[in-house]
Amino acid sequence: MPAATLTPVFAALGDDTRWAILARLGEAPASASALAREFPISRQAIVKHLDLLSSAGLVESERVGRELVHRALGGRLSDVARELERIGRQWDSRLARIKRLAEEF
């Protein structure tokens, strides 16, 4: 998973309102209009957040009659998490190696 596909996900998660919406969808799927009733912002604002979350692969949508029901994709979040874990360990091991070399001489 290249960094190019990673930063958009972080950008999507890095907004309080968007995170709140995503967490809400994690509880149960919902339409944009339903979310607009629960949050103190307009439906259009909700829609834009959903678009961003969708293009980051964090939300999937399905048409049901006149409604568009959105749901949070936990699997995607877990994928990103595993990648982060890997990178974090790499940084620390590199740092340890540098420290070891520095003390050796």
Residues in contact with its own copies by CB under 8 A are 3, 6-16, 19-20, 23, 25-29, 71-78, 80-85, 87-95, 98
Look-up of token digits 């994928």 = 79
72 part of the interface to DNA, by CB under 7 A: no
DSSP H or E stretch at residue 105: none
With contacts defined by CB under 7 A, name the span among 59-67, 71-79, 83-91, 95-103 that binds DNA.
59-67
Residues 2, 3, 4, 40: which binds DNA (CB under 7 A)?
Answer: 40
**C-alpha span between 93 and 64 (Å, rounded):** 49
Q: Is 31 in the site for DNA (CB under 7 A)?
A: yes
Query: For residues 87 and 7, what is the distance between their CA atoms, to the nearest angstrom?
Result: 14
d(CA 103, CA 52): 47
Residues in contact with DNA by CB under 7 A are 11, 15, 17-18, 31-34, 40-45, 47-49, 52, 65-68
